[in-house]
């Protein structure tokens, strides 16, 4: 532990310890150069002799220092002093997500999603800089007093892979470790996403999904056990959030979200459509032949299926003897559901044979009667099976109106029913296009004829022209020329499409639609305006962070200033509060502190002390009496020696020492000046 008051790098004062981890201690400090409070992470002594680890620590810290994002605890500096390796970071006054969860027990779905969006946004910024965190957990997520969520501990996390062995103290994050990280495999962005999923699980339930007596047992659960859905403990969890968590925590990395952007998109969509079914698992090559864990929804669907108990009773004899061993093999073949029927009673068999004989005789007599009637053997009153007067031929109704068709059919004692409508290029709207039974078919009287009415000519189809990136009026004309109607959706901001030009259309370009259909176009409002933040009185790092959050870019220059401390912004090119387009560059000037003037040391040899002091003062220098000296060249009371020498270029305010002559050395006298041994004269001129 470092004592309070110790300075690191002659700049950072240690004010007290605020936290400790497995590999580093964190102190509150003050940057006296920029006059601001900072957090200083100091590597523990156990790792200071591992050169590979140190190199990784330094390189990753330097890489993390390039991250300037509102959802990341920014790294300002990295250095070494007296064998201590340290990292200087942004000091965030707040609470860790771990402490926040423990305080509230568990978080609401809305709060979980809100925190997750900010957390993943910060993580996305790191991934864009090719930095893998490797240690995402609630302990490394800080919620500021203003509610800002920031990801911390970049650099250390990746550096842990540098050592050949990692002690159990370093494995404190095993509850959030991805399966591939637990087995020592390749770790990438999807590994961080797995840890995000575990963190979200803890937020919504109040605890981690896997726990055990040792780090090894927990790691094995990540590798082997399927995670219980959070819906088992939180029944009212939105379906979309449940699916998001389950997708993040898939054992196979390819089934997770492939990047933070797609995860953020689903999280935002979950806020507006909590029960939406928009979350899909990633595709894995050859996945159709793999065993896949069924989703909660799939299980619910299966559990909701009903089986007819009456049908089961009909299929299987109710007198099934469970002790009968003869049917063991059949029962095993069909999962125990097959039942063996008992032998039929002999009397019953006899009755069945008699009934079959009687049925055969009746069928033979019926066939004989039908054949005889067909050849006229049984002609006579009341014996004919049919009468030609009871059947009619269906007239051709095509081209008739509905009323005309009903009148025509009534002549044949036939009914009519309109079965539908279809477009037709042959028949006018309202006319019959077709009917069933068709024309000239023989039907019995009182049969109902089903007709299809024409709706008029079939509409010709046209392809939606490419109006994207076209000027609004031009796009409208193109659609009208194609025989389409134009509707306008709500205009949107776009950083890619110029104001007044079409962003998109619905249906999409190239879609075949009926002539006369409506096509909706979305017109660009141009780049979304941004408000210029106040940059003055802050540091350059703070200015860049503020501009980035506002969607702007910064351009810094430096100037000397006698009034503004070094590193503080003096001025900005665009006034705070001004609305400008996103992506606009805002220039600002950073102070270099007071300008140091360079002067030449004047020649004051031979002058008396008063004159010499005045001369030095006029040149911006300070004279300082250094003693007396013998001199053969300069008389007593005159300047005989100076330092720095005449003509030396020095900073304004430099002290120039001078010696006063006591005259030549007199060997006959016993009394000599204190510095009489120095006879240096104007050696510098």
HEC profile of 283-342: CCCCHHHCCCCCCHHHHHHHHCCCCCHHHHHHHCCCCCCCCCHHHHHHHHHCCCCCCCCC
How many beta carbons lie within 10 A of that of residue 155, not counting itself?
24
Tell me the average pLDDT across 526-547. 91
pLDDT at 38: 94
Bridge partner residues of 274 (DSSP): none
Proportion of the chain in helix, strand, coil states, percent, rounded to 5: 30, 25, 45
pLDDT at 13: 94
Q: What are phi and psi of 609, to 5 degrees?
A: -60, -40
pLDDT at 313: 35
Which region among 105-119, 387-401, 581-595, 614-628 has the lowest average model confidence (pLDDT)? 387-401
Tell me the average pLDDT across 430-448. 91
- The H or E element containing residue 128 is helix 109-128
- Record the tokens describing residue 150, joined without a space: 């920031």
Question: Is pLDDT above 50 for 614?
Answer: yes
Q: How high does pLDDT run on average in the chain?
A: 81
Enter the DSSP assignment of 512. E
CB 174 within 8 A of CB 215: yes
Which region among 51-55, 604-608, 613-617 has the lowest average model confidence (pLDDT)? 51-55
Identify the CA nearest to 425 among candidates 455, 463, 450, 403.
455
Identify the CA nearest to 66 among candidates 12, 113, 128, 114.
128
pLDDT at 381: 41
CB 201 within 8 A of CB 208: yes
SS3 475: helix
Summarised one tens digit per residue, pLDDT across range 182-213 is: 888 788 899 999 999 999 999 999 999 999 88
Measure Cα distances from 637 to 278, 376, 409, 673 in Å: 96, 168, 146, 13
Name the more confident of 159 and 237.
Answer: 237
Tell me the average pLDDT across 97-125. 94
Identify the CA nearest to 158 among candidates 282, 40, 67.
67
Percent of the chain with pLDDT over 90: 49
Peptide bond into 437 cis (omega under 30): yes
pLDDT at 108: 94
Enter the DSSP assignment of 648. -
Most confident of 307-321, 360-374, 542-556: 542-556
Which region among 127-131, 173-177, 364-368, 496-500 has the lowest average model confidence (pLDDT)? 364-368
Question: Is pLDDT above 70 for 319?
Answer: no
Name the more confident of 160 and 269.
Answer: 269
Peptide bond into 586 cis (omega under 30): no
Identify the CA nearest to 201 among candidates 142, 236, 244, 151.
244
Question: Is pLDDT above 60 for 595?
Answer: yes
- Record the tokens describing residue 435, joined without a space: 């009917």
28 alpha-carbon distance from chain centroid: 31
DSSP state string for 225-258: PPPPPGGGT-TTS-HHHHHHHHHHT-SSGGGS-S
pLDDT at 47: 75
pLDDT grade, residue 28 (50/70/90)? Answer: very high
pLDDT grade, residue 351 (50/70/90)? Answer: low
Question: Is pLDDT above 80 for 265?
Answer: yes
CB 454 within 8 A of CB 427: yes
Residues in the chain: 685
Torsion, Cα 68 69 73 75, to 10 degrees, reads: -10
pLDDT at 684: 40
- CB burial of 478-495 (b: ≥16 within 10 Å; e: otherwise) equals bbeebebebeeeebeebe
The question of whether 135 is a catalytic residue gets the answer: yes
Question: Is pLDDT above 70 for 167?
Answer: no
pLDDT at 324: 38
What does the alpha-carbon distance between residue 473 and residue 480 come to, in Å, rounded to a whole number?
11
CB 15 within 8 A of CB 4: yes
pLDDT grade, residue 567 (50/70/90)? Answer: very high
Indicate which residue of 31, 77, 135, 192 is catalytic: 135
pLDDT at 161: 39
pLDDT grade, residue 374 (50/70/90)? Answer: low
CB 143 within 8 A of CB 94: yes
Name the more confident of 47 and 109.
Answer: 109
Enter the DSSP assignment of 197. H
Tell me the average pLDDT across 619-645. 93
Interstrand relation of 415-422 and 141-144 (parallel, antiparallel or unpaired): unpaired
Question: Is pLDDT above 90 for 145?
Answer: no
Tell me the average pLDDT across 118-127. 93
CA atoms within 13 A on the CB side of 413: 9
pLDDT at 527: 81
pLDDT grade, residue 388 (50/70/90)? Answer: low
Question: Is pLDDT above 70 for 172?
Answer: no
Tell me the average pLDDT across 421-439. 90
Name the more confident of 138 and 285.
Answer: 138
Question: Is pLDDT above 50 for 643?
Answer: yes
Tell me the average pLDDT across 515-534. 90
pLDDT at 332: 34
Name the more confident of 296 and 553.
Answer: 553
pLDDT at 301: 40
Question: Is pLDDT above 90 for 591?
Answer: yes
pLDDT at 508: 92
pLDDT at 653: 87
pLDDT at 352: 67
For the whole model, what pTM was predicted? 0.43
Which region among 291-305, 389-403, 500-514, 585-599 has the lowest average model confidence (pLDDT)? 291-305
pLDDT at 380: 44
Question: Is pLDDT above 90 for 545?
Answer: yes
């Amino acid at each position: 532990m470092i004592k309070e008051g110790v300075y690191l790098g002659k700049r950072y004062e240690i004010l007290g310890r605020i936290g400790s981890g497995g590999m580093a201690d964190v102190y509150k400090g003050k940057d006296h150069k920029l006059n601001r409070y900072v957090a200083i992470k100091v590597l523990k002594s156990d790792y200071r002799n591992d050169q590979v680890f140190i190199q990784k620590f330094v390189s990753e810290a330097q890489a993390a220092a390039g991250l300037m994002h509102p959802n990341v605890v920014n790294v300002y500096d990295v250095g070494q002093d007296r064998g201590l390796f340290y990292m200087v970071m942004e000091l965030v006054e707040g609470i860790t997500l771990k402490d926040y969860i423990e305080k509230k027990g568990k978080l609401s779905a809305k709060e979980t999603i809100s925190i997750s969006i900010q957390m993943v946004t910060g993580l996305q910024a790191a991934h864009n800089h090719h930095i893998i965190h490797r240690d995402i957990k609630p302990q490394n997520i800080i919620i500021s007093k203003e509610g800002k969520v920031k990801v911390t501990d970049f650099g250390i996390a990746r550096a842990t892979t540098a050592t050949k062995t990692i002690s159990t103290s370093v494995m404190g994050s095993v509850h959030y470790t991805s399966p591939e990280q637990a087995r020592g495999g390749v770790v990438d962005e999807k590994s961080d996403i797995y840890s995000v999923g575990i963190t979200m699980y803890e937020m919504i339930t109040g605890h981690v999904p896997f726990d055990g007596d040792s780090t090894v047992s927990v790691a094995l659960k990540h590798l082997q056990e399927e995670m219980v859905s959070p819906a088992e403990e939180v029944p009212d969890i939105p379906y979309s959030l449940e699916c998001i968590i389950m997708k993040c925590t898939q054992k196979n990395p390819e089934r997770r979200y492939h990047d933070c952007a797609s995860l953020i998109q689903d999280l935002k969509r979950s806020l507006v459509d909590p029960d939406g079914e928009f979350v899909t698992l990633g595709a894995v090559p050859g996945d159709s032949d793999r065993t896949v864990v069924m989703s909660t929804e799939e299980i619910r669907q299966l559990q909701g299926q009903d089986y007819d108990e009456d049908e089961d009773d009909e299929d299987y004899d109710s007198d099934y003897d469970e002790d009968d061993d003869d049917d063991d093999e059949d029962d095993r073949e069909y999962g125990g559901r097959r039942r063996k029927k008992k032998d039929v009673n002999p009397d019953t068999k006899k009755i069945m044979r008699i009934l079959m004989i009687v049925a055969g005789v009746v069928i033979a007599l019926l066939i004989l009667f039908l054949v005889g009637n067909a050849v006229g053997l049984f002609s006579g009153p009341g014996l004919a099976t049919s009468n030609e007067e009871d059947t009619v031929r269906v007239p051709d109704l095509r081209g008739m109106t509905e009323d005309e068709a009903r009148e025509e059919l009534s002549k044949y004692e036939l009914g009519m029913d309109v079965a539908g409508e279809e477009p037709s290029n042959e028949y006018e709207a309202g006319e019959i296009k077709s009917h069933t039974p068709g024309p000239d078919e023989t039907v019995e009287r009182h049969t109902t004829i089903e007709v299809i009415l024409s709706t008029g000519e079939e509409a010709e189809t046209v392809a939606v022209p490419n109006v994207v990136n076209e000027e609004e009026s031009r796009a409208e004309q193109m659609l009208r020329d194609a025989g389409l109607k134009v509707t306008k959706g709500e205009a949107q901001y776009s950083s890619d499409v110029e104001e007044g030009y079409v962003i998109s259309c619905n249906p999409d370009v190239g879609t075949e639609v009926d002539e006369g259909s409506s096509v909706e176009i979305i017109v660009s409002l141009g780049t979304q305006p941004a408000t210029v933040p106040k940059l003055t009185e802050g540091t350059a790092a703070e200015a860049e962070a503020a501009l980035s959050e506002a969607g702007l870019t910064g351009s810094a220059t430096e100037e000397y200033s006698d009034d503004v401390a070094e590193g503080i912004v003096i001025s900005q090119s665009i006034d705070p509060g001004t609305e400008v387009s996103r992506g606009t560059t805002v220039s600002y000037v950073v102070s270099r502190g007071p300008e140091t003037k360079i002067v030449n040391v004047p020649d004051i040899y031979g002058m008396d002390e008063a004159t010499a002091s005045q001369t030095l003062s006029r040149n911006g220098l300070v004279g300082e009496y250094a003693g007396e000296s013998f001199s053969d060249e300069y008389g007593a009371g005159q300047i005989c020696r100076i330092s720095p020498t005449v003509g030396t270029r020095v900073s304004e305010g430099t002290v120039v020492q001078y010696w006063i002559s006591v005259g030549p050395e007199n060997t006959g006298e016993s009394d000599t000046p204190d510095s009489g041994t120095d006879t240096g004269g104007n050696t510098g001129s």
